[in-house]
Amino acid sequence: MPTRTPRPFRPPAEAGAAPDDRGRHAHRDRAGDAPTGADGASEASVAPDLAAAMWLAAWGGGRTQRERVPLVAALGRVTADPVWAQRSSPAQAVAAADGIAVCSLETAGAAANQRVRLVPRQFELVSAGDPLPPGRDAVIALELVECGGAGRGAWITAPAGHGQHVRAGADDVAAGELLLVAGHRLRALDLALAAAAGVTELTVRRRPAVAVIPVGDVAATASLLLDGQAREAGCLVEHGPTVSLERALLDAACTTDLVIVVAGPGTMRPPGLPEVLRRCGEVVVRGVDVASGRPALLGLVRNTPVLVCPACPVAAASAFAALAEPVLAALSGASPARREETAQLAATCGSRGRLPVRLATVEGRRVAVPVRRGAQALSGLVRADGWLADADGDHELPAGLPVVVERLHADAPATVLVAGAPDPALDRLLLAHRGLGFCELTPTQAVALVRAGGCHAAAFSGVLGEPAEELEVVPLADVDLVIAGGPALRADARVAVGPQGTPAHRAVAAVVAPRDVVAVRSDAAAFAALAAGHAELAVGAAAAVPPGMPTTDLGRAPLNLIVRRGAAERDPALRALLDTVARLREQR
């Protein structure tokens, strides 16, 4: 198995000397020499969260090395760098239903009492996901078409609207968009999204290497359990020899990132394992309360964390979850795991099947925010934190309803949540503020969610509706707007632009009639729509323009964060986010 660069080996020194690389006193016990019970437990037990914090502080932390892997080998790995879309997905407009692709203008006049016949040259059969043929801008579902046989055309009883049953190019992801941040544990959904966006390789952290060393015959079951937990956490596992525990500890500390010793009955009593650990390195915390009457021991050998846990399988599993997982998270840059939790639904929504949601704590209230784009978009599922466990059937779920969320992944949810349309300024904020999550909504929907206390902030540009006094406007960025496809806006041109509430949409709405506005999900998607021929002009942020596309400057427009008045004083997570926003504005 791959090993890290071995540390220089120095044999254990005489009592009082330092056997490891950092010059520690070999016999020092950071937890003190408190009296112990019959099985080695300190009379004053230490809570696991406090013990883990002491252990991490003594260790000092460190990341595993970075490596480049193909997508097929990246499942379960943790990203070391942000992942960006290399191309749009879909790359061009595609059919969203099985049926016939038509030109919508040629279907005018069709009605239930006035069928319209289309000759063969006026339509083409398509399946869902097929690229839209040239000259076609709509799809009529197959069940609404009466075919007249080979070469005889088709009859329709309703006109097709422009864009009917069509997914526009870049409807899911536009080239250059941020897909994943660093420190994200990769799932199958993530890999599918990356592949759809043209990514073939990823930079990830090397898998942490864990050594499991059983002591005593009864440690076999707990060792197997810990082996499985470590592998589930994405680790490489090796089993150390038990002929000489001291030798096994020193060897494992040189070649692995975490050592777990499974202690059989009686081995935790002095002088036993605590003394062996002192001779090899140091004891950091004794008497960690992982199970009633079965304490764990935390130490360091050659600056490698060492967990000594009881051979009782329940206690071993508890010790791994409470103590080993924070170390593994620090090594990979990912967050410790959680699986299921309760929250209040942030907005009224329909429930048809399982509903993906984002989780956040807003002013002390745990909320679940429905993912707007549902199962039709990989990006929406990738951003989701879980499914509503009780969302089956086809009915409306009211805002404020207590729900159980079944977690989709092990990473902890975002500590602060921003909603709005994708924008390069938000990408910069996501990269600068750890723990920030993004929920894609239209900016007007995002502002409504902030009003209801469903998320921390909304990205918005424009005039707020009433009542405006309950909201605060925080400047986020001055967006450099550009136009592509021509030197200036024209009132008679079809213009692709992001949704209402984006800086670009505000600029376009002042010149172009609503009927000529092609509203798409983001600025990047607007430029993709122009490139695909679905619009004559596109307006958006200069940072969202694909390479090689000529543009003309249109000036600057503000993009703001909308927050509830006084919320920053009540919510430390929001206060920290606004501090990051202020720092970014100073840097620019």
For the cut 80, the answer to whether the pLDDT of residue 205 exceeds it is yes
**Token pair in block for residue 305:** 């964390």
Q: Which tens digit of pLDDT belongs to each residue from 312-353?
A: 887 888 889 889 999 999 999 887 666 788 999 998 887 555
Provide the pLDDT for residue 321: 84
The answer to whether 18 and 24 have CB atoms below 8 angstroms apart is yes
* pLDDT value of residue 242: 60
pLDDT at 10 over 60: no
CA pair distance 355, 522, nearest whole angstrom: 23
Q: Does position 4 have pLDDT exceeding 50, yes or no? A: no
Is residue 354 within 8 Å of 328, Cβ to Cβ?
no
Cβ contact 540:517 at 8 Å: no
**Average pLDDT over the chain, rounded to whole?**
86
The neighbour count for residue 238, using CB atoms within 10 Å, is: 16
Residue 73, CB-side half-sphere exposure with 13 Å CA sphere = 11
**Does the reported pTM lie above 0.85?**
no
Average pLDDT value for residue range 257-284: 84
CATH number of 94-167: 2.170.190.11
DSSP 151-197: TS-EEESSPPPTTTTEEPTTSSB-TT-EEE-TTPBP-HHHHHHHHHT
State mean pLDDT over 492-496: 92
Q: Which amino acid is at 266?
A: G
Asked whether 557 and 478 are in contact (CB, 8 A), the reply is: yes
Region of poorest pLDDT, from 83-87, 242-246, 367-371: 242-246
- Sign of CA pseudo-dihedral 19, 20, 21, 22: negative
pLDDT in tens, 505-532: 999 998 999 989 999 999 999 999 999 9
Decide: 534 and 327 in contact? Cβ < 8 Å: no
Mean pLDDT of 556-561: 96
Look at residue 295 and tell me whether its pLDDT is greater than 90: no
Separation of alpha carbons 474 and 458, rounded Å:
10
pLDDT of residue 446: 95
Per-residue model confidence (pLDDT) at position 22:
32
| pLDDT on residue 406 | 80
User: Hey, which of 163-172, 352-361, 390-399 has the most confident mean pLDDT?
Assistant: 163-172
pLDDT band at residue 1, thresholds of 50, 70 and 90? Answer: very low
- Matching CATH topology for 66-90+171-205 and 94-167? no
**31 pLDDT above the threshold of 50:** no
Q: What is the CATH number of domain 48-64+207-332?
A: 3.40.980.10
Choose the weakest-confidence range: 83-92, 192-201, 223-232, 342-351: 342-351
Residues 255-279, mean pLDDT to the nearest whole number: 83
Rounded mean pLDDT of 451-463? 94
Q: Is the pLDDT of residue 30 over 70?
A: no
For 111-137, the pLDDT digits (tens) are: 988 999 999 999 999 999 999 999 999
Q: How many CB atoms within 10 Å of residue 371?
A: 24
**Is CATH 3.40.50.720 what the domain over 66-90+171-205 is classified as, yes or no?**
no
b (16+ CB within 10 A) / e for 189-215: bbbebbebbebeebbbbbbbbbbbbbb
Between the CA of residue 413 and those of 358, 367, 575, what are the distances in Å?
8, 11, 18
Looking at domain 338-413, which CATH architecture does it have? Beta Barrel (2.40)
The answer, yes or no, to whether residue 44 has pLDDT greater than 60, is no
Helix (H) or strand (E) holding 217: none
Q: How far is CA 390 from the centre of its chain?
A: 23
Residue-range domain boundaries for the chain: 48-64+207-332, 66-90+171-205, 94-167, 338-413, 457-587
What percentage of the chain has pLDDT greater than the value 70? 87
